[in-house]
Amino acid sequence: MSEPARQTVSANGVNLNVYLLGRQNDARPPVIMLHGMRDVGLSLLPIAEALATLHPVYLLDLRGHGNSDRPGGYAMVQLVYDLHVVLSEAVGSPAILFGHSLGGHVVCRFAALYPDLVLGVVVVEGLGPPDGRAPEDPALALIREGERIITTLSIPETQRPLPDHAFAAERLLANNPRLDPERALALARQGTVVSDDGTLIWNFDPRAQSVFTGADTDSSERYWRNVRCPACIIAGDLAGEYWSRAMPAGSDWTGSFAPGELEARVGLFPDAELHRFPGSGHMVHFDEPDRLAATTLDFLRRRL
């Protein structure tokens, strides 16, 4: 799998790396793809290549990830702004937006804020974690929020070096047990970089996880309600293993959606369809890339 062509777009001084696939002057609507946190654009390449058989595709490295700049500031409004610059300056026409996880949050906000620029959205594991964690005492919740702010914003840019790509692939497999080992090694090569001191590290800024620190998660609903274009929502039924590990709140919390909870969120979108993948966790593009590509293409053919 070869690396596609690239271009750089400047978002108020932050250089963003964009991969280009398909014929960029094609009359069919373009697709802009956004990956999740602590990931890189190239991890979506199998899906992007499938979409590029019918559409021009722009695959973005979010700020702080891949070959885009690492400015140190990672607020949601900055990510929305970055997408606006890419769409305006690189694409130049309304587009279909595809987003995984963090990318899905950005896509939903963008579609609600700039409806004339968005033809449709594909949101993969981008509606946030389930509810149902044990409620906290309000005073204790404030204390923990303060602790999270200090802890998260104190994360250093430097990372612990990786011995080699094989070790990085093993880490990916440990966190993603359904990932094909050969693809894990390819992802390890795509998702790492040699730092200035010659060591191998993951190719993202650890500080980027501050994007959700102090965020009002309840505000997501007002964006979902205002995504007026057709929406394809894709969820991995096994994503609870990710949420219970990433956001532990007691040993009895499974991280799974309660019956009807996910459907209720999707129902807030004016025009949305839900596709559940029984064999996928949160990293759907790792677990079932072919199914993800086929479902996305089917949605685009039917609705756009």
Q: Say if residue 44 is in the same domain as residue 91.
A: yes
Q: Say if residue 166 is in the same domain as residue 261.
A: no
Count of the separate structural domains present in the chain: 2
SS (H, E, C) the chain: CCCCEEEEEEECCEEEEEEEECCCCCCCCCEEEECCCCCCHHHHHHHHHHHCCCCCEEEECCCCECCCCCCCCCCHHHHHHHHHHHHHHHHCCCEEEEEECHHHHHHHHHHHHCHHHEEEEEEECCCCCCCCCCCCCHHHHHHHHHHHHHHHHCCCCCCCCECCHHHHHHHHHHHCCCCCHHHHHHHHHHCEEECCCCCEEECECHHHHHHHCCCCHHHHHHHHCCCCCCEEEEEECCCHHHHHHHCCCCCCCCCCCCCCHHHHHHCCCCCEEEEEECCCCCCHHHHCHHHHHHHHHHHHHHHC
Q: Say if residue 151 is in the same domain as residue 18.
A: yes
- pLDDT of the residue at 217: 52
The yes-or-no verdict on residue 77 having pLDDT over 90 is yes
Q: Say if residue 118 is in the same domain as residue 265.
A: yes
Q: Say if residue 196 is in the same domain as residue 256.
A: no
Q: Say if residue 107 is in the same domain as residue 198.
A: no
Q: What is the pLDDT of residues 115-146, one digit of tens each?
A: 999 999 999 999 999 986 656 678 887 887 88
Assign residue 40 the CATH number of its domain.
3.40.50.1820
- pLDDT of the residue at 218: 58
Q: Say if residue 9 is in the same domain as residue 92.
A: yes
Task: Determine the structural domain holding residue 195 and report its residue range.
Answer: 161-204
- pLDDT of the residue at 219: 83
The yes-or-no verdict on residue 251 having pLDDT over 60 is no
Percent of the chain beyond pLDDT 90?
Answer: 80
Q: What is the pLDDT of residues 157-210, one digit of tens each?
A: 889 999 999 999 999 999 999 999 999 999 999 999 999 999 999 999 999 999
The yes-or-no verdict on residue 281 having pLDDT over 90 is yes
